[in-house]
Amino acid sequence: MLTHERHEYILKYLDEKKTIKIQDIVDSTGASESTIRRDLTELENMQKLERVFGGAVLPGRNLQESSVADKAARNLQEKKRLAKFAASFIQKGDSVFLDAGTTTYQMIPYLKDKEVVVVTNGLTLVESLNEHGITTYLTGGLMKPLTGAFVGAQTIQSLGNYRFDICFLGANGFHAEYGYTTPDPEEAAVKKRASTLARKTYILADHSKANKVSFAKIMDLDQGILLTDQIAGNILEVIEKKTNVKVVSS
Amino acid sequence: MLTHERHEYILKYLDEKKTIKIQDIVDSTGASESTIRRDLTELENMQKLERVFGGAVLPGRNLQESSVADKAARNLQEKKRLAKFAASFIQKGDSVFLDAGTTTYQMIPYLKDKEVVVVTNGLTLVESLNEHGITTYLTGGLMKPLTGAFVGAQTIQSLGNYRFDICFLGANGFHAEYGYTTPDPEEAAVKKRASTLARKTYILADHSKANKVSFAKIMDLDQGILLTDQIAGNILEVIEKKTNVKVVSS
DNA sequence: TCCAAAATCAATCATAATCATTCATAAGCA
DNA sequence: TGCTTATGAATGATTATGATTGATTTTGGA
């Protein structure tokens, strides 16, 4: 069976049943599990489907809710720990840039008593920041429905009006050679811009992001301080040569 | 049964019946109690439901939402009529400024087929615009918690990047001598700025705003076209001398 | 009201399923 | 032949699951 035929089969099946199990595909196509996994990964990159544990589903029509909320729920406790740790680096009265993202979102409760001014590009963060009584500026611009992050020339320009004492960014991967990366080039550009406007930049990325490389580069490792939870010994050594790493005490 | 499938099942069931028992889910999915508990915990983290003893219910709307929703519910039908009327002035392909506010919010469904590009200063409008697949830029800036409107120098500056074919503003009062007014001076400044960048400006204000004067002036009556529902005869005459008025046909 | 039984709960553990990654091989193509 | 791409098997890691435990909450009768 041709690769293309399998892809067609998967998509057609998905279109009818909305959901598909890897084992079922293996049984009906005769291909190996590895191959089917590769198929699904590829189709996911084309945004034709969304992978879930054990199979795949049609991409949520309400992407904002389904996939972002999914991610937010995952490892919530670890995210909170990392967020609290990150917030501990903030001084009273700092001007803070807070990147859009589920981990940075968890930092908000810990900003309450710091008398900070926050600038963010995250739509979902604004309301929560306001509820906590934190003075907040939103960059504005064009919104990415998937992440609720603002991007584009307008966003970049907005940022130029500010200087930050401290800047917190999310990243999908960090790698000794390729630096910090994230899937969307436009979001990467915003992150980079924010970083250059800050006296100190911290990147929040848990251990699952170690050695991962995503499509768009944000910046090199040495441009920021990495905050993470735990990390395998030998990887840590390589990374530590390039950047300053701080690990949450467990 | 995939984890994702169970989640879908639970949410769908909840959406119909408003309430769900753990035992019922166990019986109908065949999964263990532990698993279902974990499902519910996760869905609660996503704010898709609220756990109660023995099961789960649909999440209760928080206070912030309810008070805004209250306001929105008031005269909802009239607002929708006025909004639909306003949208009828939009040409295909127009660049549109949409002011923050409950009436302008109701215009969104009618923008769908107009292939417009929208710029707005209203936080609550962005998500709805995105759901309707409308290309949207948010001005950003400092948010006014009560109205969800962005204001300040940042907002004003953002606006300077655009020119609008058509501009829709809300107002709390219109008056022959004092013009269009609104309670917040900063919001008034944004409205005025948007108006000067537009070829045509429409103000949406129902009859209850007639002859009312609020603290901050947006602009004189002759700077825009007033859209309203009905208006007492003698007032209308006075207003009409100063501005172009269009009344919804009832 | 109070108490005890029943139901439900969170937390933990071991197991099973699924996962990404790597490597060696096979197939396609110049 | 030499090169690229696709495949399948093996691995160790990650995630999901079900059973068990003892704690907590609800229920219903005295």
| pTM of the complete model | 0.73
Per-residue pLDDT for A163 more than 90?
A: yes
How far is the C-alpha of A213 from the C-alpha of A205, rounded, in Å? 13
For residue B208, pLDDT beyond 90:
no
Mean pLDDT, residues A1-24:
91
- Tell me which nucleotides of strand D come within 7 A of a protein CB: 6-10, 14-20, 25-26
Structure confidence by residue, pLDDT tens digits, A38-62? 999 888 877 788 899 999 998 764 4
pLDDT at B215 exceeding the cut of 60: yes
A146 and chain B in contact, CB less than 8 A: no
CA of A35 to C1' of C27 (A): 15
Query: Residue A63's pLDDT is what?
Result: 37
Q: Residue B206 is inside which H or E element, if any?
A: none
User: Which has the minimum average pLDDT: A225-229, B58-62, B76-80, B160-164?
Assistant: B58-62
| B141: nearest CB among A62, A130, A140 | A140
Mutate to test the interface with A, among B4, B128, B129, B137 (most CBs of A within 10 A): B4
Contact A54 B127 (CB under 8 A): no
Smallest CA–C1' separation from A36, nucleotide: D7
Query: What is the predicted pLDDT for the residue at A234?
Result: 58
The residues facing B21 across adjacent strands are: B55
Residue A191 has pLDDT above 90, yes or no: yes
pLDDT at B197 over 90: yes
CA of B55 to C1' of C1 (A): 29
* pLDDT confidence tier of residue B147, bands split at 50, 70 and 90: confident
pLDDT band at B245 (very low <50, low <70, confident <90, very high): confident
Per-residue pLDDT at A62: 41
Mean pLDDT of chain A: 86
The interface predicted TM-score (ipTM) is 0.67
Query: SS3 of B112, please?
Result: helix
Cβ distance of B138 and A135 shorter than 8 Å:
no
- What integer is the mean pLDDT of B26-42? 94
Q: Is B120 on the interface with A (CB under 8 A)?
A: no
Tell me how far apart the alpha carbons of residues A31 and B21 are, in angstroms, rounded to a whole number.
41
Inform me whether the pLDDT recorded for A167 exceeds 60: yes
B157 at interface of A, judged by CB pairs closer than 8 A? yes
Quick check: B51 CB within 7 A of strand C?
yes
What confidence tens digit (pLDDT) does each residue in A219-240 have?
999 999 999 876 655 566 667 7
Q: What is the pLDDT of residues B9-21, one digit of tens each?
A: 999 998 888 899 9
Q: How many CB atoms lie within 10 A of CB A18?
A: 12
Task: Quote the pLDDT of residue A233.
Answer: 57
CB–CB of A138/A203 below 8 Å?
Answer: no
Confidence grade of residue B70 (pLDDT, cut at 50, 70, 90): low
Query: Taking residues A202-228, what's their average pLDDT?
Result: 87
Mean pLDDT in residue range B173-183: 92
**Residue A63, min C-alpha distance to chain B (Å):** 9
Residue in chain B nearest A77 by alpha carbon: B45
Percentage with pLDDT > 70 across chain A: 89
On the question of pLDDT at B187 being above 90, the answer is yes
Q: Is the CB of A207 under 7 A from strand C?
A: no
- Low-confidence winner among A13-22, B201-210, B235-244 (lowest mean pLDDT): B235-244
* pLDDT above 90: percentage of residues in chain B: 63
User: Residue B65 pLDDT more than 50?
Assistant: no
Of B2, B126, B161, the CB nearest to A52: B2
pLDDT of residue B232: 63
B57 phi and psi angles, rounded to 5 deg: -135, 170
Q: Order the strands of the A164-170 sheet from edge to edge.
A: A244-247, A225-228, A198-204, A164-170, A95-98, A117-120, A135-138, B141-144, B149-151
- Asked whether the predicted pLDDT for residue A218 surpasses 60, the reply is yes
- Work out the angle at residue A135's Cα, subtended by the Cα atoms of residues A134 and A141, and round it to the nearest 5 degrees: 115
